[in-house]
Amino acid sequence: MASEKRLNRQMIIQTLVNALEPLDCAYAFYERGAAAFNRIDGWFDIDL
């Protein structure tokens, strides 16, 4: 079986940045919630 990469927080964020950055209608992208307070743990979600 081929090695599988696990999807992680940074991969999701980078994919969103790559998709949104070229768009003229996208002016900002920020992360909020636990990440804004440097409290990311094993139960986090991504608040955008």
What pLDDT score does 8 carry?
A: 84
Contact 32, 13 (CB under 8 A): no
- Whether pTM exceeds 0.95: no
**Tens digit of each residue's pLDDT (9 = 90 or more) over 5-46:** 888 888 988 999 999 999 999 998 888 888 878 888 777 777
Q: How many CB atoms lie within 10 A of CB 1?
A: 3
What pLDDT score does 41 carry?
A: 78
φ, ψ of residue 42 to 5 degrees: the values are -70, -10
What's the angle, vertex CA 10, arms to CA 36 and CA 3, rounded to 5? 150
Enumerate the domain spans of the chain: 1-48
